Chains A and B, each alone.
Chain A
Amino acid sequence: MPVDRQFCTFLLAGHHFGVDVTSVQEIIRAQEMTRVPLTAPVVRGLINLRGQIVTALDLRRRLGLPDRPDGDPPVNVVVRTDDGAVSLLVDEIGDVLDVPESAFEQSPETLTGPARGLIRGAYKLDGRLLLILDTDRTVDLADARAPD
């Protein structure tokens, strides 16, 4: 019997992405952000999430995609990590999807750039692919230090 898995999906530069629904703490609209100078460009700033200070990472930059057009407010996908909550900034939020495990396939070898290692693989859905993000690796910026 095929096992279904649930993913919280979102759009990023026209691509469909998904993160494991159990790792998502909440989805919130664009928040006022405090930028952090001298840090990696991926770090867009800090937001106040009900008294908790959460780092917001620009997922487009993290995956090496072109920057979001000015004026398009991003959406915060707040994910739980070992180091507390981290917000991933995405273009638009999608549905929570149940997808059959059988539709999964590993990333192709030809996948290069920063996205390699962050994308676990893809689910083959009708007419599109749902790319699955490894959130733990995404929030680990050890390889995305400040330009200094």
Chain B
Amino acid sequence: MNDIIRDFLLETHESLAQLDLDLVALEKTPRDRETLDRVFRALHTVKGTAGFLGLDRLQAVSHAGENLLSRLRAGEIIFNPEIATAMLAVVDAVRRILAGLEATGQEEEADFSDIIRRLEALTKGAASNRAQPAAPPPPVVVGPTRVTVLPPEPPPAPVLAAVSMAEPAEGRHSAVSDGSIRVDVGLLDKLMTLVGELVLARNQLVGFRAAREDPALHGPVQRLDQLTTELQAGVMKTRMQPVGSLWGKFPRVVRDLAAACGKQVRLDLDGGDTDLDKSVVEAIRDPLTHIVRNAVDHGIEPPADRLSRGKPAEGRLHLHAAHEGGKVVIRVSDDGGGIDPGRVRAKAVAAGLLSADLAARQSDREAVNLVFLPGFSTADRVTHFSGRGVGMDVVRTNVEKIGGTVDLESRPGGGTTVSMKIPLTLAIIPALTVTCGGDRYCIPQVSLLELVRLDGDQAHTGVEYVHGAPVYRLRGNLLPLVHLDRLLRVDPTRPADGGATVVVIQADDRPFGLVVDDIHDTGEIVVKPLRKQLKGAAAFSGATILGDGRVALILDVLGLAQRAGVVSGPRDRAAAERPSAVAAAQARETVLLVASGGGRMAIPLAAVDRLEEFPRASVERVGGRSVVQYRGEILPLVRASRPSRHKRAAKRRPDEQRRLQVAVCAADGRRVGLVVSRLLDVVEEAVTARAPAGRAGVLFTAVVQDRVTEFLDIAAVVKAAHPAAVSPE
């Protein structure tokens, strides 16, 4: 059944019930203007919608009724039982048509001319009606007798009998309206809160039972436990809404947008009965709309282009929802032109979101995901994913806010698929409880990857430092470590054995290790929002009450990661480095390895023009900078390492004082001479292990040839060496 018709049925069934009541009430108080107006409006709405949906019979019947009501409202006739009977017959006729509509999806063939004629007669008979002295006396006097005369059921007037012969109006009620009732969302929220309290009380009691070992307690507590679980599931279910409730508007959105763009788009929807918590449904409404609009606007090509590429003129847009591993996955796929990774790279570079150097090193899959970068989509409208009020970065932010993820896959020429993976509910979530500085904190299970326990020795030897930033080699990969106590600025209470407990969590696709004092149990927690006094604390997403009645804060994994610098802030330009680093993880890279001031660095070979040796005497100082004359230009010299270290290194190797080893690197058409201690090697390496950069000019740190190596950001180095004042631009 069409969604519009379904909604119409649901609404109209409700207003019909009210119509019955109002018409009966009008018999008691015929001059009740308010009720009369309400009846008129209700019937007017039915008529209007019927006309809109092309339901001619329904329109005719309601129109006739409306005419009669107009005269009643004008005061030309007074409501009387005869009119009530006729109007109730209209209501029944409407009901009958709706029932037929619900059963067959069509307006059934039925003749309502009797009712219409009767209504017309009543409308025309206004004069005689008004002349009748039988106009009802004041309602106060009449009331009691009328009530007894009229049962709540419509009186079995002949007209009514004729109309509802096929099915008694009450007997075969609508399945659509009978099967569901409308409930105030506030009430559901309250029920959810109460169930949350019950879950907590249950948890407390279960702990109590374990402590007491009282057999008398065992049975009742177990039953309460079970009932609470079932009640929780039941109440959560009442808050569930099918994803399909979001989809209702898409046929129209797609149709209008396609027409505006001169495109032909066929929209397929499936999995609309997949249930989600109402709050989640609301939260994904805007992101989903944005993705769908993008697909039509930029994904699907105009018919002529499609035909020339051997595709049908009509593009296909497919919305699919399904449960997958305790989450809901919504996919929006189109068979359009896809996203050209090259164009996205060029666009991102042009917008200054990342360096050309970085962009070139990204895999195509990573490159298309650049559209999620802040500032990417709103700048202009060149690419496939240009802005429409909100950018894809906002889509990503909004989805991640509710604990979901967004991913984009594209085959150039073959179409694009955007997948959103979202949790079923936000109110009660599984979480791990940890302690830190004597307090307990909850970490949502969705962001947990694994737990690593380091004993005393491991905690000392296993943790390495990259420019002061602790990392741990987890199966060969460098895992950045973040100490929760330091991050939260609370006093540490380290375990006596000097060991450490590392909770490996994932934020924004970047895993990192959160070092905590101890790990407790996992369990379901009821998420409570933080009051505005605490909104400033970005490290927490909410609070909960634990089994013993104490309050615990829920860690905001993304906020923590941002705070620790594991991932960049949402508006930080450096966010560009994130996907590039992931991209590099998959790509094999040829790098020049150099020793510099006691450390090792890697320079992408693509960025190296030449390797040169300059006599130290040729170095000249200009405006506080070291330069050399090189091939007719002035080449700024930059030390790859920190100056202090270099000085120390220089003392040890005086021979380096006479000749400088320089890697001439270029980016954006400008060159810079990178002074290094020694050139080590050129290697092709699959760079897999990494940690965030410890300082400016460094992209990230990774293990190359079993040594921790800094990867230089040549673009940044060149930029720094060519300040705007002297740059050729």
Contacts and interface: CB of A to CB of B under 8 A. Distances in A.
The finding on whether chains A and B are genuine partners in a shared complex, rather than unrelated, reads: yes
Interface of A: 32-40, 43, 45-48, 51, 53, 55, 57, 83-84, 86, 139, 141, 145-146
Contacts of A51: 196-197, 200, 545
Interface in B511-559: 528, 531-534, 536-540, 543, 545, 549-553
B491 to A, nearest CB: 10
A40 B532 CA distance: 12
Nearest to B196: A51
A55 B197 contact: no
B531 A35 contact: no
Given A53-B543, A146-B537, A34 B551 contact: yes
Given A46-B551, A48-B549, A36 B531 contact: no
Contact of A48 (B533, B534, B551): B551
Contacts of B534: 36, 39, 43, 55
Contact of A36 (B528, B537, B538, B549): B537
B488 interface: yes
Contacts of B551: 33-34, 45-48, 53
A32 B550 contact: yes
Residue of A35, A37, A57, A84 with most chain B CB atoms under a 10 A cut-off: A37
A43 B553 contact: no
A31 B489 CA distance: 23
A37 B560 CA distance: 12
B439 A34 contact: yes
A34 B552 contact: yes
Interface of B: 196-197, 200, 437, 439-440, 488-490, 528, 531-534, 536-540, 543, 545, 549-553
Contacts of A35: 439, 490
B197 A40 contact: no
Contacts, number: 70
A139 B533 contact: yes
Contacts of A37: 437, 488-490, 537, 539
A145 B553 CA distance: 19
Given A38-B489, A51-B200, A86 B531 contact: yes
Contact of B553 (A34, A40, A47, A48): A34
Given A37-B488, A38-B488, A38-B489, A55 B550 contact: no
Residue of B200, B533, B534, B543 with most chain A CB atoms under a 10 A cut-off: B533
Contacts of B437: 37
A46 B543 contact: yes
Contacts of A86: 531, 533
Given A34-B552, A46-B551, A86-B531, A39 B545 contact: no
A24 B79 CA distance: 54
A57 B532 CA distance: 12
5 contacts: A36-B540, A39-B533, A43-B534, A48-B551, A141-B532
B18 to A, nearest CB: 35
Contacts of B531: 53, 55, 83-84, 86
Given A39-B536, A55-B534, A86-B533, 10 more contacts: A33-B551, A43-B534, A47-B551, A48-B551, A51-B197, A55-B531, A57-B533, A84-B531, A141-B532, A141-B536
A16 B437 CA distance: 36
Nearest first, the 5 closest Cβ-Cβ pairs linking A and B are A37-B488, A34-B551, A46-B551, A51-B197, A39-B537
A53 B489 CA distance: 23
A51 B488 CA distance: 26
A35 B197 CA distance: 22
B533 A53 contact: no
B616 to A, nearest CB: 46
Nearest to B193: A51
Given A34-B551, A51-B545, A53-B528, A146 B439 contact: no
